[in-house]
A and B are shown apart, each in its own frame.
Chain A
């Protein structure tokens, strides 16, 4: 049996992007909803709930970027220049947000400045990730082995819509995380915020889903052609189920259920994207197979990845386990 390694790797890269979205999504979300929590003490508790895990979460983004360069160098070489400005703005935003974790403790007078940096950094990073995604779905102009489009190709009504969808989605992950990890006033306010955010996110998911098939024939065929429509119809059904679980959890004061349901929405949206993209790396232009590095590169890194990724998941889970339970507001990390 001959397994095509490029598809194995597409799966691993997709997994690490999903892991990034799932893990960093909620900690970016906490930054996005910072303006709704004005007290310094509340913000301390909020950042403390993610302080021990945030840079592990962000490492998945490095794996997504570094891994893409390693196993799909051609896709990396085309996508990065195509998304030049959103990527640069995302990186700069992540700087502001990342250092704010430490810097806000190192000063008294300027801490509100770093809180502002934490908010704007988290928000712009989320927006740019969504815009990048939308720009990729819309398609990228390629000539030979290089990007051939202009510098503002990424900015379209559709990419702005996906940008806002991701922003709202991360905010929902953030408040459902706070609903899980905090108690008292922070928790009740988070639960209250989660309701309008849920409605907004579902509306945005609906809008993006309805728009996508009309962007490219490939997507239309995938979603409405037979027999693929049979399988792809599971995605909206499961989405409806998650939406119900989310609402039920919020209206019945559950702690864990809303967070898991919100994650479910993200995972299903991601699966939907996968259905649209397959077997392309860049829609309509570059397939997974054509984008792949030589087999010697794929094999070499796969040996390590198949041992190391399970180990990473194990000790990441352990770190989350160590810091499990509600954050004690009287016992911070700093």
Chain B
């Protein structure tokens, strides 16, 4: 049975890709934002400079909206393994499940338990306990990222298990399962990506407000902090990305072949295909623009290093090449653009005109969403490159599926698409509206006196005139 001409397997893959992509956008932003809030709050307590408190209150509301969307889209994920991928859950659940169980126990509860206090409780618990709560939320997001990348990495580079007669993966060594070969690279690369995503979003908001009023102190501070991150973290991220690529070459050479668009094995130096259109049917990359030997130099750090092509593997064990090929180039391209912005900001800072370079600000605004796109592009590269396996080399995607019929999966997919676009589309619109507020609360003293616990009824007039600005106090 098919649905709109698609088989259940393809529909289930589309559904997982769709829901996880949406979900991933929110934590990618909230991981960095939580840490940013912790830094802002610490700076406020340390320096007692009102600007930091204003910035904390400003980003706090944006964080709350993002976090709520992350929570609800995350609940979907924890059930989708069962609804659409029950065979995977049955077989790999004993390994993947406990890792996600630890994520819930060590991270989700920590974040949710302290979020209320971090958002609404400054007046009630005092500065110290409030700072602890803000830090706990930030630490929670990082712990969460650690467990989920451990689980995901194990699916790419599985170790530390045996397989019993039912085909169930039996954990033998948890240390090897968690610290599987790709985990350190993937985790570092992912967390830094999340920090950069936040940095460029914060930078764009700062730049936007600098373009309107370059004397706005809060806008200056956020722009400056974001550009430091861009200048320092981007080069490290590119270095880590290279290490991650070398690790992939060692453990998943077919994925590298797909990313590079190589069908033939190059024994004496592979070219770097800059652009082209990989064609799995014809087993060739059309319209390839190549730089001789550079591919080998990057991947093996030798001019004549051997790079395997996709033809080394039987057709039914190759990942599709087109998507990883394209998404990989998008990610790398954006990475170098980020580096460019970071370097430009260093130059402007050194010249003393960081806040007076409108073109830098315009570019920074344009780059505001670059982190999100890069994160998704990188994610698609690695996950599509994992095909046709769910647990690499051991469990095929086709054997992971629930006993579901295509119409059931198709219907739920359409429901998810409709709901996600409506709800999260509106959510993103509200986020943009929140970011459009100038980072200068009108009533600073009141902010402190009344604390963040502000009634909706206190300022009905302001609330009506500026539904967003009037209630920024949360």
Contacts and interface: CB of A to CB of B under 8 A. Distances in A.
30 contacts: A56-B112, A62-B108, A66-B103, A67-B101, A69-B89, A70-B98, A77-B89, A80-B402, A84-B404, A88-B83, A88-B412, A88-B415, A95-B419, A102-B430, A103-B427, A105-B456, A106-B65, A145-B166, A146-B87, A146-B90, A146-B403, A294-B171, A296-B170, A296-B171, A301-B98, A304-B101, A308-B109, A329-B457, A330-B458, A334-B471
B105 A308 contact: yes
Contacts of A308: 105-106, 109
Contact of A62 (B68, B78, B86): B78
A51 interface: yes
Interface of A: 41, 44, 51-53, 55-56, 58-59, 61-63, 65-71, 73-74, 76-81, 84-85, 87-88, 91-92, 94-96, 98-99, 101-103, 105-108, 145-148, 151, 293-294, 296-297, 300-301, 304-305, 308-309, 312, 315-316, 318-319, 322-323, 328-334
B72 A73 contact: no
A58 B94 contact: no
Contact of B82 (A59, A76, A85): A76
B403 A81 contact: yes
A66 B86 contact: no
Contacts of B457: 41, 44, 329-330, 332
Interface string B8-47: 0000000000000000000000000000000000000000
A122 to B, nearest CB: 13
Contacts of B95: 297
Interface in B106-131: 106, 108-110, 112-117, 119-121, 124-125
Interface of B: 64-65, 67-69, 71-76, 78-79, 81-83, 86-87, 89-91, 93-98, 100-106, 108-110, 112-117, 119-121, 124-125, 164, 166, 168, 170-172, 174, 402-405, 408, 412, 415-416, 419, 423, 426-427, 430, 433-434, 453-458, 463-464, 467-468, 471, 473-474
Contacts, number: 265
A107 B434 CA distance: 11
B102 A312 contact: no
A56 B71 contact: no
Contacts of B467: 106-108
A69 B68 contact: no
A161 to B, nearest CB: 24
B97 A297 contact: yes
A235 B282 CA distance: 70
Contacts of B174: 296, 300
Contacts of B79: 65, 80, 87, 91
